[in-house]
Amino acid sequence: MNKQIGVITIGQSPRTDIMSEMTTHFAEDVTFIEKGVLDHKSSSEIARLAPGTNDTLLVSRLTDGTEVHMGKEKIIPIIQQLIDALNEEAVDLIIIACTGSFPTFKSDKQIIYPDYLLNHLVKGIFIDGTLGVIVPNDNQQEMIAQKWGKEDFTTITHTVSPYTYSETALIESVKHLNDTDVKAIVLDCFGYNQSMKHVAQTYTKKPIILSRQLIYQTIAGIIN
């Protein structure tokens, strides 16, 4: 029986950079319905969603690849609207394609919260200690420390955007983290891809955790 998965990106859909890898983990009869927080929004409307002083920064991209910044608190109502729409389209489950933490949304269909899933998978493997965490923006470092601190990890954070990607910056960050006592290096954003993971693995013997890969494999094991 065919199954449908709703995918909500915090940027604009279609997210070819995400879906090209996601679909390879699922059976052929699984189809996907993408919706983006920034779909059909003008540049001025997108600008109004930029993070304010007290907002949590989230980083994503537009369909043309341009990096965009949003305040999490500003887009939560939009995510709920997209969840409502996907419920009407009778999907089997919904994935929020972001490793940021979100409140529990209202939905008749199962929602996958990658942040919760990622944190607990890593917790189950490494228990505690220090993690190297690579994120898109410097202003996310405090949020990352709090997020992983709840799971008994301390963090050493480096910034490498997957959207204005520099392979040199990634290599330098991985080399630095390799010289520390981190148990693993987490690429903590849905924008990081398999190619970036392969680059990182070339410069360290530490485990490299590609967030989207863990999420895809776990969900595929449930729905396939």
Question: pLDDT (tens digit, 9 = 90+) per residue, 119-158?
Answer: 999 999 999 999 999 999 999 999 999 999 999 999 999 9
Count of domains forming the chain: 2
Are residues 74 and 20 both part of a single domain? yes
Task: Identify the weakest region by mean pLDDT among 25-34, 76-85, 177-186.
Answer: 25-34
Are residues 8 and 76 both part of a single domain? yes
Are residues 67 and 167 both part of a single domain? no
The answer on pLDDT for 178 being more than 80 is yes
Looking up residue 19, the CATH number of its domain turns out to be 3.40.50
> How high is the pLDDT of residue 222?
85
Are residues 219 and 140 both part of a single domain? no
Looking up residue 200, the CATH number of its domain turns out to be 3.40.50.1860
| pLDDT mean across residues, the chain | 95
Q: Which domain holds residue 11?
A: 3-113+214-223
The answer on pLDDT for 1 being more than 80 is no
**pTM exceeding the 0.85 threshold for the entire prediction:** yes
Q: Report how far apart, in Å, the C-alpha atoms of 21 and of each of 2, 24, 148, 212, 214 are.
A: 20, 6, 26, 9, 12
Q: How many CB atoms lie within 10 A of CB 111?
A: 18
How confident is the model over 67-90, as a mean pLDDT? 96
**117 within 8 A of 218, measured Cβ to Cβ:** yes
14-30 confidence digits (pLDDT tens): 999 999 999 999 999 99
